[in-house]
Structure 1
């Protein structure tokens, strides 16, 4: 047992990232059933859709699971009310000020974790009263910190400053990566990209196949003027780079981005015009597998490498 398994009442200190368009009830329940903490990604769900996913997840697992809520979400009050009404006991917040909702959630008996990308925001989250933090490095897919601090430099710097449990995220998709993060001071890991390329992920099969095909250098952090996001280099990414050559205004960038780009790419499978958000670790993902198999591989590799190091 460690701080993270105790906090969430789970078997292994492995959290599945609450990714938009990827993390529905099937993925979350499969991860929870395997001994980790599954998260439903509320960022791509209307309130009534989220309620449906929560109810289906409760039927599919008797293990703990949580909800990831980006605080930029327009209907966040409705989302929070549904979480409370449905009796969800774990919430991960991101993309906003942790002070806004932490006391409300904790007042309802909910464990709160906040995602940060720097020491500064880690300290703010701790001061806001969260129970743990996810420290997400520059390698991660999806929306990311502007600082471009890598996971393996961020973890020890944050660990040096905070007293609450720390979960490492960004560039972790194997047992070796998990062990490395914990050696550097994390109490657990959050894994996104590896779970995006599973059978239970709600991502479109075109996107899952793209994850498998991605090599090192095929993703890039961009759109920093709006909200930094790591994308696979496709036609839409090329259009962004072409626009940047013209020294565009924020309005021009927003116009190019338009609406529902992430849905178009990751959920509907438009590989040319959609946002394809994935982490650098995708270069190590070579096959779409069931969650149970992925989980088994991560845990077995972690134990094998740890026992080897213990013998040294």
Structure 2
């Protein structure tokens, strides 16, 4: 039995990342209905907006779904209370200390998963008592690690030293990539960028088209002094690079970033001044599809890869 399927009671060991400005109730419920685990991204929601999305997701799917909470955001106590009041039983935490809420949530019967970008933090998450870890290589979009360790390097490192289930993330948009990371020891996958380019994602259509148009080298990991993010290269990205070229300070980076920069780009569709967070794998995404087709393609190409690998001899 697959550990991730068993842990979440889902059909396929495929988790949808809780990406900000993309992961509303429509995306989460569609992924859950397709056999994976959908996550509502709380990072871009005020507490009562999150409640609304949870309630709508409950009506749209009878299958398990969860909430992703970036722990560097405000209103954490309110968000946790809403999750408990709405009886959500799966929580993914990220961008913070897993000890903060893990024990409390588990006492309330919640399954807790923490997102990490290094072996060191995977071990800390395990010590904190989480039920599984998402291990994310630096290919990923959004909030990222500072060490630039790739997914194919990180997964076997973590697998060799933790005993809890491991979910691979970063650079996974195909069934072949899913097969590769599971061959290296992952029990399942978390996929973000491929689901951003779906019909059900709440991100702006212009941003989705920008993802489809992206090619190799069109993204870059930056802003490590604040919170590392992988961005599509646009005017805002170039403005950031100009600051670095002059020998910038943290305060100057904060001033340039300002407030609502990610919302402006990914939700409102400002491709010039907005922050456009996406993974390297955007170079492999060539269309915008319904979630059901994306999941179906992942599963079928995984099986095709599995059959092909059986025929290879060394």
TM > 0.5 fold call: yes
Equivalent runs, 1:8-87 vs 2, <5 Å: 8-87=8-87
Which residue of the partner structure matches residue 162 of structure 1? Answer: 162
Which residue of the partner structure matches residue 109 of structure 1? Answer: 109
Measured in 1, the distance between the counterparts of 2:121 and 2:149 equals: 13
Q: Say yes or no: does 1:145 pair with 2:136.
A: no
Equivalent runs, 1:283-298 vs 2, <5 Å: 283-298=283-298
Secondary structure at the residue paired with 1:220?
strand
Q: Report the CA distance between 1:245 and its aligned residue.
A: 1.4
Equivalent runs, 1:175-214 vs 2, <5 Å: 175-214=175-214
Which residue of the partner structure matches residue 232 of structure 1? Answer: 232
Q: More deviation in 163-172 or 238-247?
A: 238-247
Measured in 1, the distance between the counterparts of 2:213 and 2:108 equals: 44
Measured in 2, the distance between the counterparts of 1:228 and 1:28 equals: 25
Q: Report the CA distance between 1:296 and its aligned residue.
A: 0.6
Measured in 1, the distance between the counterparts of 2:296 and 2:58 equals: 23
Measured in 2, the distance between the counterparts of 1:218 and 1:257 equals: 20
1:118-150 Cα distance to aligned partner (Å, 9 max, x none): 000000000000000000000000110001000
Equivalent runs, 1:225-304 vs 2, <5 Å: 225-304=225-304
Q: Say yes or no: does 1:134 pair with 2:121.
A: no
Q: Report the CA distance between 1:310 and its aligned residue.
A: 2.8
Secondary structure at the residue paired with 1:106?
helix
Q: Report the CA distance between 1:196 and its aligned residue.
A: 0.2
Measured in 2, the distance between the counterparts of 1:95 and 1:33 equals: 28
Measured in 2, the distance between the counterparts of 1:311 and 1:109 equals: 45
Measured in 1, the distance between the counterparts of 2:251 and 2:282 equals: 32
Secondary structure at the residue paired with 2:156?
helix
Q: TM-score, normalised by structure 2?
A: 0.99
**CA-based RMSD:** 0.6
Q: More deviation in 259-268 or 299-308?
A: 299-308
Q: Report the CA distance between 1:246 and its aligned residue.
A: 1.4
Q: Structure 2: any 5+ residue segments left out of the alignment? A: none
Q: Report the CA distance between 1:308 and its aligned residue.
A: 2.3
Q: Structure 1: any 5+ residue segments left out of the alignment? A: none
Which residue of the partner structure matches residue 219 of structure 1? Answer: 219
Aligned residues: 312
1:90-110 Cα distance to aligned partner (Å, 9 max, x none): 000000110000001001000
Measured in 2, the distance between the counterparts of 1:143 and 1:61 equals: 28
Measured in 2, the distance between the counterparts of 1:310 and 1:51 equals: 47
Measured in 2, the distance between the counterparts of 1:237 and 1:248 equals: 14
Q: More deviation in 234-243 or 244-253?
A: 244-253
Q: TM-score, normalised by structure 1?
A: 0.99
Deviation beyond 6 Å, 4+ runs, structure 1: none
Q: Report the CA distance between 1:311 and its aligned residue.
A: 4.1
Q: Report the CA distance between 1:77 and its aligned residue.
A: 0.1
Measured in 1, the distance between the counterparts of 2:54 and 2:310 equals: 41
Secondary structure at the residue paired with 2:101?
helix
